[in-house]
Every structure is written in structure tokens, then in C-alpha cells.
Structure 1
Amino acid sequence: MPSLVEQALAAMGGRSQLESIQSLHLKGYGHYYLIEQSERPAGPWIVRYEQTEEWRDLATGRRRMEKIERPGQVDRQTTISSGEFEATRMTVQGREFPPRVTPADPEWLDFSPERVLFTALAASDLRSDGSTLYQDVMHHAVTFTWKGFPVRILFNADTALPTVVELVRTYPRDTFWNVWGDVTTRWIYSYWYLEHGGLHYPRQVDIEKAGYPYRSFSIDEMTINAAIPAERLELPADAQKLAQRPQPEVEAWPLGRPDRPAVELAPGLVKVPGNWDIAFIRQDDGLLILEAPISAGYSQRVLEEAARRFPGTPIKAVITTSDAWPHFSGVREYVARGIPVYLLDRNEPIVRRLLASPRTLRPDALATRRREAELRPVSQRTSLGGGANRVELIPIRTETGERMLMVWFPEHRLLYASDLVQGPMPDGGFFMPQYLSEVRDAAAREKLQPEFVIAMHAPKTLWSKVLAAIEAV
């Protein structure tokens, strides 16, 4: 009797039909959610609509994807995978940025509808795994491993077609998905279509990640074995040059940025710019660290820098001010070391989810030495420390800032605005005037009179510039 995978190959049009596919040219539409930085962890999430054109060279494992997104700051995005490296170039507000280059990840190829069954057959540990009800229909399952990660495919018991492919893996080079450790990704196939030559192909694929609905994509046009000009799949010269540089994983990112050195805003108050900034706040009885972004590994380097800059000074606590994933993704390292965590009361559930997230594939310090977190939720204006660098933690409680804390430095008339002040942007202005208006309103409500403002993505800036930007809208 044919195996479940062989039956699926037959149902999709036959093994030889699928093996004959050397290239695909796809045009389609879709959407995805910015789950990692939306207003609320439970949704609704910020949505991006995308129109894409993609060329897949299945024989060599190369591809090119061109994408237009709306709404948002990105005008156009082009990704080229050479098989060894992947380069993504974005145009933002008419300005083209240098490409971001990373080692290529073969997931897109090995788990595409046209290749996933061959991926299963190539596994030495492929086996049947019983039956289960999915989408109210009985399905038969197979399991195997891919590059050491577990995979499960469910086949419709009536049609033999694959319905869902499930992969559990880590994403060590992805800033957002690295946060959650062992991530379960599901590709759900639907809208099956009879293509030329007798191929049955799912023209809609929905993707779930870590329990969230993440992306949905529908193919509008598909050409099988279309000729792809070689130059369309070549990495541009600047990307090839960048590919020769080390490409560290997120956990290994160095502290800060060479082009933006640390700044002492006041004695004992140091801001370290990076893709996501942190700050050190020395007080009479110890050191506060403002923000725990990026990863546990990044937090290790923050703590090393704290010891270098302030030798012998105990770490009192870390303060995390937002529910955006990159903002709190380094909290696990502080918890592993027994350091208290101040956070907004409304963000306690998402931070506890981070602390409970599985790390069996790549254990971190908290996974190897579990300990109870000392979380200190902030529900009202709260003072920390004394002296020149005393701070007040203040829930912002506005519409887009409802999951954020601001930090007030009374002696310096300096306000830390979490994520609500971002800039300067390429046009010299600020991102999202709505954000600016909310931090202005929150400051007025709390009777604060800042002279300067700083934020996760903003250097020390005159408060008057923020007010002027609001008036200019």
C-alpha cells in the first residue's frame, strides 16, 4: 500500500509532475500582521497588505521576491536569495537603503507546496503518526525531522492532499521570532487549483507562528517552468560585499553601534544607542538599567558593560517600558540572575508568556536554571531611588501608548518617552505625530514640564521640537 506521502504526491498530480517543476513565477496578494509591535498583544494587530511578484528557481535554490506594501513607510522591498546568502533592500519614503544580508534559510524552499513532500521522503525518520481531527475533518499524520527540527504533516483522509505542515524550530537570525525560543510554524493549504499539465496546487497559504495568525497569501497568477533571467537571481555587488562580513545571530549582537557611541546625558546617566537603545541610571544605592531589548545574549553584554562602567555597583533592577517584542526580549537574562523587573501592570501577561516560552532546542540561562521572576508591576506613578538621578515611572495610559511607561527625571527635566518619540526620520521629522500628541498629553496630565526628551529610538531632543512637530501637522 502506498505511503501517505506517496498518496499525496498522486493526489497533487503525480510524482513526475511535481519533479518536473524546475521554476515558478508567481504573482499574488496577501497580508501579514505586525504582531510584535501592535497596540495590544491580543489584537487586533496592525496589518500590512502586500502585492508580490516572485521567481523561484527550484533547481538551484535561488529566488527573487519583489513586494509593495501598504500602508506604511516602506515603498518597495526586494529580496534575493542566492542559495548561500539572502539580501533584502528597502526603499523608505523614496530613499533606498543598503541591503540587509544574512545567510540564506532554505525553509522557503523545503516547505513550499511543490517541495515539502520530497522533503518528507528524504528524511530517514519519516513515519506515520496516527490520525486526528483538524478543521472538523479526519486527517492522517506523518512526522520526521528536518535539520534536527520536528515536522508534522496532516493529510486529508478523504482527498489525501496535505492540509497543514507544522515545523518546530528556532529563528536565531530573526529579531522578532528569536524572542520566543521554540517556535511552531504552520503552513495551512487551501483554495486548491488545477494547473496546466494536471498539477493540483494550493493557491492560498495561511501561516501561523507561535500560536498567532501571522500571514495569508493568495496566488493570482502562476507560471510553471518560466525562464528566469540569470541576472534577476544574482546578489548585487554591494550585497556580495556585505556577505563577506560576519553575520552574527541575534543572541550574539554586540552592544551598541559603532556609528552612534554612548552618550552621558548627566553624571551617572548614560544612554547606549543601538537598533534598540538602553540606558544606565546610577543612583545612590545602585544601578538601574532602562530597557531589556533584543535578546538574552544582548542583556549579557549590557550587564558586562554595567560592570565595566560602574565597577562594584549592584544592579537594583531593570525597567522595561513597552510590550513591543524587541523591547522586552532580553528580560529572561535578568530574571535568570535574580534581578527585579519593573514593568507596566498591563504588560505582565506578555512578559510572563516570554518567561514561560519553551527553550528546548537552544536553552538559555533561564531554561537551564529556572527561578521565580521578581516582577514589580507599575500601576501608578512610582518613584525609584534618590539623588540627582531619581526617577518616576509613570503609566502613559493613552490610546497607542496604553502599554507603555514613561520615565521622568525630575532633577534634569528629562522625559523618557518609551516608543512614542521616534526620529529623526529620513525627512528630518518624527514618526507618527499621533505618538507625539499622546506623550504631550500624558506629560500635561502628570504636570511635567520637560526641557528635553529621549526615547527608545530618539536621542536627546528639545521638548520644544516635539511640540512644534505637533503644531505643524
Structure 2
Amino acid sequence: MKPRNFFVLAAFGIASSAFAADPASQTLLKQALAAQGGEPLLRSVKSISFESSGYRNMLEQSERPEGPYLIEFHDLAELRDHANRGLFRHLQVRTPLESYTSTMTVANQVAMQTFGTRQMPGTSQDVKIAAEALALSPERVLLTALDAADTHREADTVLHGVPHQVVGFTLDGGRAHIYLNQYTHLPSAIDYAGPLARGGNAAYLGDVVQRTAWSFWRLDKSGLRYPMQWDVQINGMPDRTMMLRAFKVSTDYDRPLVEVPQAIAAQFKPDAPPRDPAEMPLGAKHPEIAPGIVLIEGAWNTALVDQGDGLVVIEAPISSSYSRKVLAEAERRYPGKPIKAMVTTSDSWPHLAGIREYVARGIPVYALDLSEPIVRRTLSAPYSWRGDTLHNAPRKADLRLVGGKTVIGTGPNRIELYPLRGATTERQMMAYLPAHKLLYGSDPFQKDRATGTYNQPQQVSELVQAVEREHLQVDRFFMMHMPVAPYKELLEVKGSED
């Protein structure tokens, strides 16, 4: 599980326009501003600070694409300095397996990320996303829309069972829509399809619309009305919820919170590419772990299996562009040899986000039967904002669903696929190469590099039980995040935590 990016923003600018929008939208926005406390009050707000608790549904790593989802518990402290255009966010994440803190700082167009005590420079993309987050905040979104060049009224709709009036505008090339409650005139929600919406893991979903719904409004002594509950959806799926515990308007704060240390600022490169999953380099190590079996090691392992008449690729991590890198490496190592199949063993995004490239090339894709909904959703997603091979040249998928033992190829590198069907490994399957007594176990658990222990005994036991159920003879195994290791290590792990 990887940290999500949260940030501190200071002294940045965001594009706006003095051109007038259509009168109907201006009337609605001014009515909404009056309901929230008045345009003069909102423009005069110097700072907003709050503390909140909530949770995030790990949509990108859950066993069931329709839920229930794995969750992270979040404690967030946030400070927005509107007088100096600054924002501070400090996030603490807790799960049953780990906890960590993260912060991101952007000051004077310089970004910094902090994880625990480790500080590192961010990217210019961090600055842009941070600026968008501030512009679309509850206390600024109406003003952002009011100042936009293309603000316009759209058709009324019903949201949460209540009639709403809708105002649309554009920010950073992304469409935005504000939903104004017809009774209270307050903004109930905003939809946004720009960079902020499609950052991080959400990028593999293609064209992303992020909806933030605001509710449980509080009237502050300053006269400002502010939502105490925020619910965020990504393409209609529930992403996260937070409830504000404490809330202050225009109070003093500690200035060092929104300052980037000079040593970090000196390392910041404004022209450096963003930390985009689509642009991750191919793993540098490519050992042959058995004759004709190459493991491309990296943050997400991929395997190439030479079956004589063609290659089988195991896993399609993170993006179409990463898959193109894998395919280029396959061509370099095995010139002219076709890719006869690719196997995705899990419905988690690191395993299937790159399947579109294989489908675009007419390569058969093997996936677990229970993963069919999320696989087809990934293949059918529109990619107009970025584009990839499948978007530019649509093609029907040759999808082969695995519900029981499934064999790919013949000879010494024959592959057998088996569903795991465990309590926590419901949507994963393993790939077995019987001639080498070698098992690829998908991604149910990881090994702590510092202690050498396995961090999830329950999942270890489920893989072992699946091996025993299928009567496999295994000497060695490897995983998406693990190199080859002796299988006996797993037999020594207890089936439940101490």
C-alpha cells in the first residue's frame, strides 16, 4: 500500500480571467455567495484551518471492485493561508498492517514531500495540483467560478433527492460543475475532471471525474458557512470521507509550516517530469530465474516466459506505457518472437492497469473469472485526456477467464493457472511452472526487508493451502514484490498472527 500525496501549498498562482461570464451563472453564484456569508466576507477570509478524521476506500487495491473495500483511516490537519495563497496538510494514515505520516509543501513555486522524517523535493505537477485543490476548496470554489472566463449555467438536476442548479466552468483544461442547492443556494458538490482528479492511482481509470460532496454545514461566528463533512467519489465510486473535528477562520498560525527548507528548495527542478505511474522506468534488473524465464524486477515485477513458439508475459503493471516498455524489452531479448499470451493475476491496479496495450496488439489476456467486471471496466474506459494505443485504435479483447486449472503452452515452460479462492485472496490466482517446481504467487503478502519476516500470515497460509489443494510440488516461488525465494520459508510461517 502506497501513500497518497497530500501537501502544503504557499505563494502559488492559479489562472483566472477578468472576462465576464453569462449573466445567469453570475446571478446564481452571487446568490450562493450570499448564502455562504457574502462575497466580501469570502474574499476577505485570510485563513482556514481544521482537523478532521475519516477514511479512504482503497479502490485501487481491493478484492471486490464493487465493494466492500479495504480502508485506510485518516487523520488530517490542514491550514489554508488565503492571504498568502498557502495551504498546509499533514496526514496520518493507519491500517491494520502499518501507519505512516505524509506532508507536502509547496512554497514560492517549489514543492517538497515529507514521509515521516524524510524530506524530498516534489515536482511542478505537485504545485499545479495543490493550486487546484485550493481553488476548488469550499471557501474559494464559488469565487473561482465567478472569476472564470467561461462560466455558464447548465441544466438543472436532482442531487441527493434535492433539486439543484448547475454552473459549469473550466480550470486547467478540466471541466468543473458546481451543484447549488435550490433551497439553501449552498454548493452541495463539485465535479472536476482536471489534473487534481486523475492524479496518482486514479490515472489508470482513464478519463476521471472527481466529485466532492459537502454537507453538515456549520455557521461560524465570523458569519461564514462551512461544510464539516466531505465525501469524495471517483467516477461514481466512493473514494473517501472525512469529518471536521475543529474549524477556525482567519486565525494566526506558525509561518514555518508553509516554508520549504533552503536545502530542499535548492534540489527542486521545476522542469522535472511528474511522478506519474505512466512514466515509471522499467525495472533495471532482469535475471533469468530458470531456463527461458526472465524476471523484470522493479517496484512491480513482471515475468517473461519463453515457450518456444512464443512468449507469455505475467502481469501488466501500472499503465499502458509501462507495458510498452516490457514489450520492447521482450523484443530486445527475444527478437522476432511473438507474445502469445499475457496473464494478469489480480484485480489490483498494479496487476492490470497495463492490459490495454496487450489487447490493442491482439494478444490474448488471461484473467481470473471473478475479476471480469474490473478487467472489462479497465478495457472500456475512455482515455481522451491522455490517449493510448487502445484508445486510438479500439479492438475487441481476446479475454480468457480462469475459473479452474488452465494450461498455457507445452514443454518445459508450460504454465498452469489456478485461482487462490482464499478469504483475503479471493480475486487472485497463481501461476505454476511444474518442470521447474516454480510458483508465481501473485501478491497476497510481502516480506519485510528489515526483519526478514512475512507481514501477513493469513495470506501466506491461503497461498500454502491453495498449493496443497492443487497438489503442486513447489521448491521456489516469487511474487509481484518479491524475488525468487525458497518455498520452505512459507511453510514455516504460522497460519495466524501471534
TM range (shorter): over 0.9
What TM-score results when the alignment is normalised by the length of structure 2? 0.89
Note if 1:281 corresponds to 2:305: yes
CA distance in 2, matches of 1:218, 1:81: 23
User: Which piece of structure 1 moves more, 272-281 or 245-254?
Assistant: 245-254
Which one of 131, 135, 149 corresponds to residue 110 of structure 1? 135
Residue equivalent to 1:209: 234
Report the Cα distance in structure 2 between the residues aligned to 1:327 and 1:86, rounded to whole angstroms: 30
Give the stretch that moved more between structures: 147-156 or 67-76: 67-76
Residues 1:256 and 2:283 aligned together = yes
The one of 30, 46, 59 equivalent to 1:35 is 59
- After the TM superposition, which residues 1-150 of structure 1 pair with which residues of structure 2 at under 5 Å, given as runs? 3-83=27-107, 84-91=109-116, 99=120, 101-102=122-123, 103-104=125-126, 105=129, 106-150=131-175
Shift of residue 34 of structure 1?
A: 0.8
Alpha-carbon shift at residue 69 of structure 1 (Å): 2.6
Structure 1 residue 465 displacement after superposition? 1.3
Of 205, 208, 211, which residue of structure 2 is paired with 1:180?
205
Residue 425 of structure 1, CA deviation: 4.2
State the shift of 1:312 in Å.
1.2
Q: Which amino acid aligns with 2:342?
A: V
**After alignment, is 416-425 or 39-48 more displaced?**
416-425
RMSD: 2.0
Unaligned runs of 5+ in 1: none
8 Å CA contact 1:170–1:183 kept in 2: the answer is no
Deviation of 1:241 after TM superposition, in Å, equals: 5.9
Contact 2:406 2:416 in 1 (8 A): yes
Q: Distance in 2 between matches of 1:191 and 1:126?
A: 27
State the partner residue of 1:409.
433
One-letter code aligned to 1:250: P
Q: What letter matches 1:193 in structure 2?
A: R
Report the secondary structure of 2:93's partner residue: strand
Shift of 1:85: 4.8
Q: SS at 1:19's partner residue?
A: helix
Residues 198-237 of structure 1: pairs in structure 2 closer than 5 A: 198-236=223-261
Asked if the contact 1:170–1:178 (Cα under 8 Å) also holds between the matched residues in 2, the reply is no
Q: Which residue of 1 aligns with 2:6?
A: none
Equivalent residue letter for 1:5: L
Instruction: Supply the distance in 2 between the matched residues of 1:264 and 1:385 (Cα, whole angstroms).
Output: 19
Q: 1:100 and 1:435 mapped to 2: Cα distance?
A: 36
1:212 & 1:109 partners in 2: Cα distance?
23
Identify the residue that residue 456 of structure 2 maps to in structure 1.
432
Counterpart mapping for 1:348-359 below 5 A:
348-359=372-383
Name which of 473, 477, 482 aligns with 1:458. 482
User: Contact 1:80/1:86 (CA < 8 Å) preserved in 2?
Assistant: yes
- How does 1:344-423 map onto structure 2 within 5 Å? 344-423=368-447
1:123 counterpart letter in structure 2 = A
Alpha-carbon spacing, 1:44–1:415, altered in 2? closer, same or farther (3 Å)? same
1:237 to partner: Cα distance? 6.1
Measured at CA, do residues 425 and 43 of structure 1 come closer, stay the same or move farther in structure 2, by a change above 3 Å? farther
Does the Cα contact within 8 Å between 1:424 and 1:458 map onto a contact in 2? Answer: no
> Which residue in 1 is equivalent to 2:292?
268
How far residue 78 of structure 1 moved from its aligned partner, in angstroms, is 2.6
Aligned to 2:122, the other structure's residue is in SS state: strand
SS in 2 for 1:437: helix
Q: Provide, for residues 429-465 of structure 1, a one-character-per-residue CA deviation record: whole Å limited to 9, x for no partner.
A: 1231111010000000011121111001111111111
- Kept in 1: contact 2:222–2:249 (CA 8 A): no
SS at match of 1:143: strand
TM-superposition CA deviations, 1:183-231 (whole Å, max 9, x none): 1111111111011221111111111111111111111111222233332
Aligned-pair CA distance for 1:60: 3.8
Secondary structure at the residue paired with 2:282? coil
Q: Does the aligned pair in 2 maintain the 1:320–1:343 contact within 8 Å?
A: yes
Is the contact between residue 200 and residue 276 of structure 2 (CA under 8 Å) also seen in structure 1? no
Between the aligned partners of 2:49 and 2:40, the Cα distance in structure 1 is 20
* Residue equivalent to 2:348: 324
Q: Alpha-carbon deviation of 1:33?
A: 0.7
> Once the two structures are superposed, what CA deviation does each residue of 1:149-208 show, in whole Å capped at 9, x if it has no partner?
111111111111111111123569834100111111111111110112211111111111
Q: Is the CA contact (8 Å cut-off) linking 1:284 and 1:385 kept in structure 2?
A: no
Contact 2:193 2:207 (8 Å CA) reproduced:
yes
Q: Which runs of structure 2 are paired with 1:283-322 in the superposition (5 Å)? A: 283-322=307-346
Counterparts of 1:312 and 1:466, CA distance in 2: 38
CA shift in 2, pair 1:172/1:407, >3 Å:
farther
Q: Deviations over 1:260-306 (max 9, x none)?
A: x2221012211112221111111111111110011001011111111
CA gap 1:74/1:173 in 2 versus in 1, 3 angstroms? farther
Deviates more, 1:224-233 or 1:166-175: 166-175
CA shift for structure 1 position 98: 5.6
Tell me the amino acid that sits aligned with residue 183 of structure 1: V
Deviation of residue 246 (structure 1)? Answer: 4.4
- Once residues 172 and 241 of structure 1 are traced to their aligned partners in structure 2, the CA distance between those partners, rounded to angstroms, is 29
State how far apart, in whole Å, the 2-side matches of 1:215 and 1:172 are: 13
- Which moves more between the two structures, 48-57 or 4-13? 48-57
In 1, are the aligned partners of 2:94 and 2:100 still within 8 Å (CA)?
A: no
CA contact (8 A) 1:74 1:90 kept: no
TM-score (norm 1): 0.93
Using the TM superposition, give the Cα deviation of residue 332 of structure 1 relative to its aligned residue in structure 2, in angstroms. Answer: 0.6
Distance of 1:341 and 1:170 partners within structure 2 = 30
Helix, strand or coil for the counterpart of 1:183?
coil
Aligned residue identity for 1:51: D
C-alpha separation in 1, matches of 2:121 and 2:483 = 24
The equivalent of 2:468 in structure 1 is 444
